[in-house]
Amino acid sequence: MAENAPAPIRMRGAGYYSEHTAGAKRVIDAAIPLVLGAIGRMDLSASAAPFAIADYGAADGGTSIALHHALIAELRSKTGRPITITHTDLPHNDFSSLFRLLHGLLPGRESLGLADLPGVFSFASGTSFHRRIFPDGTVSLGFSATAMHWLSRLPATLAEHVHAVGAEGAALAAFRAQAAADWNTILLARARELAPGGRLVLANFCIDADGHYLGWTGGRNMHATFATHWRGLRAAGAITAEEERRATFPQFYRSPAEFSAPFEDAASEVRRAGLRLEDCFTRVTACPYAEAFRVGQPAAEFARAYVPTLRSWSESMFAGALDPARPETERAAIIDRFYAAYEADVAAAPEGHGMDYVHCFMTIAKDV
C-alpha cells in the first residue's frame, strides 16, 4: 500500500504479516479483473518490444505481487513477448525488502519471486511518480494502488486538524488546488510514458459519494482522533503551538469528480496528451482489525493490534512535526505517549474505531 505501507514486520509469524496487509491486499486483488480486462482490450501483437509493466508507488511490493503473478500468467497465455516489471517508489523506500521478495528470498514468501519466470525481467526505480520515470512510449501497462494521495508538497499546515479532510476555507482550497495540479502532472507524465494503446489501472484513496474516506465510514473518524490526541499533547504542555500546527499530512483524498475532471473536456491537456477514462468506480474495503473486534476480539486486544498499524504509516509525519532541537529520546517519548493515548481511547470505547479503505478504481487508456 505504497508509502503508507506497514513497516516490514520482523520476528513475527507470517500470519501477523498477512493480517497487517490483508486490507491493502484485498484492495489490490479487487483490481486484478480490471488489469486482466485491460490486457484483453490491448493488441498484444502490435509490438515486439518487451511488454513493460510499471507498479507506481509499490513500497515493498508485497501487496501487489499476487496481481503481478496473475498478470504475467495472462500475458504468457497470449504472447511470447518478453515482460519487464518495474516497481517504483521514493528513494528512501524499503527497496531491500522489495528485491528480496522479487528474487524469492523473503522468508516464508519464496514462491512469490519473479526471478525464475522465463522471459520476465524485473527492475526498480527510485523516481517519484510526480515526475517522469520512463522514456516516452515505453510502458505497456501501469498500475498503482494507494499511493497517489501523497502530494508533491504540503500546501498548508492545519492548526486544528492533521489532515485535509478536516481543512476549511483557504487551507482547504490550497490542498484542493495542489491535489488538482499534482493529478494533472501525474497524468501528463504517464501519458508520455505509456505506449500507444497502453493502459493505466489505478486504485487511489478517495472521498466517495457518501463522503466516506480512509478511516471514516460512519463510525469514529481516524483523522479526527489523531487530531484530538495531538491537540491533547498541546493542552498538556507536551508540545508547542508550532509543533501542533506543523503536524499535517501532505495528502489529499480526491473525489471521483476530481479524478475524472481532466478527462471531461476534450480540450484538456490530459485528453490532448492522448488519455481517456475507460472506467471509474469507488469501493469500500473493510478494516480487518475492526472486523476481528466485531466477531468477538476483546477491546484491549483490538486496540493493541489496531493502533500499531496506524502508527506504521503515520509516525514519521508526527515525529517530523516535533522540534528537531528536542533530544531524540524526548521526541520518542512524545510519540509513544501520543499512540498510547490513541490506544487507550480505542480500548476504552472500541465501538466505531477502524480504518476501512475507500478507493476510487480507474482504468485509463492511451490512444493508439
When asked if residue 211 is in the footprint of a copy of itself (CB under 8 A), the reply is: no
- Residue 63 has which C-alpha cell? 501487496
When asked if residue 126 is in the footprint of a copy of itself (CB under 8 A), the reply is: yes
Nearest to 361 by CA among 20, 38, 4: 38
When asked if residue 13 is in the footprint of a copy of itself (CB under 8 A), the reply is: no
Among 8, 82, 232, 274, binds a copy of itself (CB under 8 A): 82
State the nearest-atom distance from the C-beta of 282 to a copy of itself, in Å: 33
State the nearest-atom distance from the C-beta of 109 to a copy of itself, in Å: 13
- Residue 101 has which C-alpha cell? 521478495
Closest CB to a copy of itself among residues 93, 178 = 93
**Contact pattern from residue 273 through residue 292 relative to a copy of itself, giving x for each residue in contact according to CB under 8 A and a dash for the rest:** --------------------
- Residue 85 has which C-alpha cell? 516489471
Q: Stretches 94-102, 173-181, 292-300, 315-323: which one binds a copy of itself (CB under 8 A)?
A: 94-102
DSSP-H helix ranges across the chain: 14-40, 65-76, 95-102, 169-193, 222-235, 241-246, 256-264, 269-272, 288-294, 299-321, 328-348
Q: Which long-range contacts (CB under 8 A, 24 or more apart) does 69-78 make?
A: 69/112, 69/114, 70/32, 70/35, 70/36, 71/32, 71/35, 71/36, 71/39, 71/141, 72/114, 72/117, 72/120, 74/36, 74/39, 75/39, 75/44, 75/51, 76/119, 78/39, 78/44
C-alpha–C-alpha distance, residues 172 and 157, integer Å? 10
Residues facing residue 276 across a β-bridge: 365
Give the contacts of 37 (CB within 8 A, at least 6 positions apart): 363
C-alpha–C-alpha distance, residues 214 and 188, integer Å? 26
Closest CB to a copy of itself among residues 93, 204 = 93
Contact set for a copy of itself, span 101-120 (CB under 8 A): 102-103, 105, 115, 119
Closest CB to a copy of itself among residues 88, 221 = 88
- Residue 97 has which C-alpha cell? 525488502
**How crowded is residue 13: how many other Cβ atoms within 10 Å of its Cβ?**
10
Among 4, 21, 84, 140, binds a copy of itself (CB under 8 A): 84
State the nearest-atom distance from the C-beta of 236 to a copy of itself, in Å: 35
Closest CB to a copy of itself among residues 196, 352 = 196
Contact set for a copy of itself, span 42-61 (CB under 8 A): 50
Closest CB to a copy of itself among residues 105, 332 = 105
When asked if residue 309 is in the footprint of a copy of itself (CB under 8 A), the reply is: no
Closest CB to a copy of itself among residues 50, 250 = 50
Among 4, 21, 63, 138, binds a copy of itself (CB under 8 A): 138
Query: What are the residues binding a copy of itself (CB under 8 A)?
Result: 50, 82, 84, 86, 91-93, 95-96, 99-100, 102-103, 105, 115, 119, 121-127, 131-136, 138
